[in-house]
A and B are shown apart, each in its own frame.
Chain A
Amino acid sequence: MRPILLSGHERALTQVKYNPDGDIIFSVSKDHVICAWFSHNGERLGTYHGHQGALWTVDVSPDSVLLASGGADNTLRLWEVQTGKLLKTWDFPTAIKRVEFSPDGRQLLGVTEKRSGHLSTIVVYEINPDPAAEQTNEQSLRIVCEDSKATVAGFSYLAFYIIACHEDGSVSQFDAKTGELLFNTQAHETDMLITDLQWSQDRTYFITASKDKSAKILAADSLEVLKTYTTDTPLNSAAITPVKDYVILGGGQAAMDVTTTSARQGKFEARFWHKIFAEEIGRVRGHFGPLNYVAVHPQGTGYCSGGEDGYVRVHHFDKPYFDFKYEVEREREQQEQANL
């Protein structure tokens, strides 16, 4: 496969996201600008200007009309996707580390950083899906994380739970209506930051990536660890691929150690693991810095990764990716055919 290299950013990428139809990729980096790209040819649709600090996160509504972003300028902003117009700015005392729309697009979640006397919080706003409408200033929910700061969070299926991952390696489950803490579990090693949380297509389970060099799949209901993928490098991101049962893990040496490691040792590769057999099946090289985020096309036809090197690489999978099967899978298929 020939990756498309997107070089519209001047600094390290922090998050990349596909919209639900998979035709547009949104990317945010520490250079204050959000870019929108067409995924099939890498053409840049436009840029969104207004943020005054490094950006940490971006998310697009399910109908691809609204875009939310958050960053180190302590604001959470809402944009119109089509025109790049800034619709709303919410101010906070600390930086926004993660935003996510609920599956129906009517709620927006934000995770705030812990700093200078302010505890980390998870806030939720009701969103009017009409871009022309006035958005509310009122938070419909505010969860304060007293024990350990939340790093990432997201809505489960039907926005039933809010799942948050913490700095200390634990994962907690909140009731999305009341904000009540239902359950907390130490999924990763103690005091190892969880860097990413991404959902399966139906949002009944999710994958977490952690600095403890492992990624885990957990069930949204029980927070039971279903699968563990242990690698040899700190992980920054993990994604679940639709269509084929794989997961993609991205990471690499921490940004501050990069200058002392060569690209080969740095392990700046996207790692493909089989989701069920929990076995590594291949790697894709290309970045010359750690991968900060990997996102998968919602139809499973490709993936893109954003790196510390400032590039987004968009990959369209080719035939061997879809053809690959384990011997047992093949045998089962043959038996099924024979039974028919």
Chain B
Amino acid sequence: MSRVAGRTDWAEEEDEDSLQLPQQTITKNRDGTETIVSWSIREDGKKVKTTRRIKKTTIKTVVNPRVAERKQWAKFGQEKGKPAGPQTDTTSVAENIVFRPSANWKATTEDKSEDAKKKASLKDAKIKCRICSGDHWTTKCPFKDTMAPEGVDSTPADLGLDAPDQAGALGGGSSSYVPPHMRGAQGGGGGERMGGKFERDDLATLRVTNVSDQTEEQDLREMFSRFGHVTRVFLAKDRETGLAKGFAFVSFADRSDAATACEKMDGYGFRHLILRVEFAKKST
């Protein structure tokens, strides 16, 4: 973009400008990604620099020879002469959509609309369960009958969650506000149960920690059902990313099955991590 100093010919200059768009540059980064910098002139005459960082992964699939042949067809119509690969003007990738089929879909969404207002008012507040750190109220926790809240004496150290979770927890007991750092010292007060008196058979529930974030509930169900009838699997997931948070609860119909599973699965290597399995602690 060196401009000759002292040039006065404006017509020349104009021409020069449009020619002066830098070439597209592709830089290979060390982590295997590519940075593509391209220049273009917008309709209003402004020069636009577009920087894209692309990671290429080769996915090999075996296809029917007919399909492979069609892949080689020359483009025609409006696409005639265009290079291979999707064109940015017609093809783009939309935002990620989480689609998880569920059996009681209707019931769950109706619930949602009911307290939609309530939720909206609390939109900015971070909701975190004190029992399992899931993104729901402690009262709605599927393990409220089974588990003691975190931070009380039964909190395992290996979860590595303490102060921030406590601070984030909302809606404590029925009495007046107790500052987070005092909650532990309440002597069982932190464990006061919300919701009904309904007691689940918590003796046959296992807590599985150090679970890979790519895990699905189905994987756990498959792994654990070989020891007996699994009544329930709960995998804590991050609301935004949908990735597993690293721990799960597995309930068995029978306690002896749970005991075998606990024994066999503790230290089992799943994905790249070693599972830790223990009996879920009973709430106070």
> Which residues of chain A from 1 to 49 have any CB-CB distance to chain B below 8 Å in the complex?
1-8, 21, 23-24, 33, 37-38, 41-49
Flag whether B100 is at the interface (Cβ < 8 A). Answer: yes
CA distance A37 to B70 in the complex (A): 11
A82: contacting residue among B73, B78, B86, B91, CB under 8 A: B73
Q: Are A83 and B97 in contact (CB under 8 A)?
A: no
For B85, the closest partner residue in chain A by CB is A43
Question: Which residues of A lie under 8 Å from residue B95 when comparing CB positions?
Answer: 2
A286 CB → nearest B CB, Å: 6
> How many contacting A-B pairs (Cβ < 8 A)?
125
Interface of B: prevailing SS? loop
Flag whether B216 is at the interface (Cβ < 8 A). Answer: yes
Q: Are A4 and B93 in contact (CB under 8 A)?
A: yes
Q: Are B103 and A45 in contact (CB under 8 A)?
A: no
For B225, the closest partner residue in chain A by CB is A334
Flag whether A324 is at the interface (Cβ < 8 A). Answer: yes
For this complex, 21 residue pairs linking A to B, each with C-beta atoms less than 8 Å apart, are A2-B97, A3-B93, A4-B92, A5-B92, A7-B91, A24-B70, A37-B91, A42-B86, A44-B75, A44-B78, A45-B75, A46-B77, A84-B77, A281-B103, A282-B100, A283-B105, A286-B94, A317-B99, A319-B218, A320-B100, A321-B101
Q: Are B84 and A43 in contact (CB under 8 A)?
A: yes
Flag whether A257 is at the interface (Cβ < 8 A). Answer: no
Flag whether B117 is at the interface (Cβ < 8 A). Answer: no
Q: Are B91 and A43 in contact (CB under 8 A)?
A: yes
Size bin of chain A's contact surface: 35 or more
Q: A50-69 interface mask toward B, CB cutoff 8 Å, 1 = contact, 0 = none? A: 00000000000000100000
Q: Are B103 and A327 in contact (CB under 8 A)?
A: yes
Binding site for A on B (CB under 8 A): 63-64, 66-67, 70-71, 73, 75-80, 84-87, 89-97, 99-103, 105-106, 216, 218, 225, 229
For B63, the closest partner residue in chain A by CB is A23
Flag whether A313 is at the interface (Cβ < 8 A). Answer: yes
Question: Which residues of A lie under 8 Å from residue B103 when comparing CB positions?
Answer: 279, 281, 326-327
For B59, the closest partner residue in chain A by CB is A40
Contact (A44, B87) CB under 8 Å given A21-B64, A327-B103? yes
CA distance A269 to B84 in the complex (A): 32
Question: Which residues of A lie under 8 Å from residue B225 when comparing CB positions?
Answer: 334
B67: contacting residue among A23, A283, A320, A324, CB under 8 A: A23
B147 CB → nearest A CB, Å: 23
Question: Which residues of B lie under 8 Å from residue A202 when comparing CB positions?
Answer: none
CA distance A323 to B216 in the complex (A): 9
Q: Are A21 and B66 in contact (CB under 8 A)?
A: yes
Question: Which residues of B lie under 8 Å from residue A246 when comparing CB positions?
Answer: 101
Flag whether A284 is at the interface (Cβ < 8 A). Answer: yes
CA distance A329 to B70 in the complex (A): 39
Contact (A41, B86) CB under 8 Å given A4-B91, A4-B93, A23-B71? yes
Question: Which residues of B lie under 8 Å from residue A48 when comparing CB positions?
Answer: 77
Beyond known contacts A7-B89, A43-B86, A44-B75: 15 more, CB 8 A cutoff: A2-B97, A3-B93, A4-B92, A33-B77, A41-B91, A43-B87, A43-B91, A44-B90, A64-B66, A280-B106, A281-B102, A286-B94, A315-B99, A317-B99, A334-B229
Question: Which residues of B lie under 8 Å from residue A7 when comparing CB positions?
Answer: 89-92
Question: Which residues of A lie under 8 Å from residue B76 when comparing CB positions?
Answer: 45-47, 83-84
Q: Are A272 and B101 in contact (CB under 8 A)?
A: yes
Contact (A1, B100) CB under 8 Å given A21-B66, A23-B71? no
Q: Are A6 and B91 in contact (CB under 8 A)?
A: yes
Question: Which residues of A lie under 8 Å from residue B101 when comparing CB positions?
Answer: 246, 272, 281-282, 320-321, 324
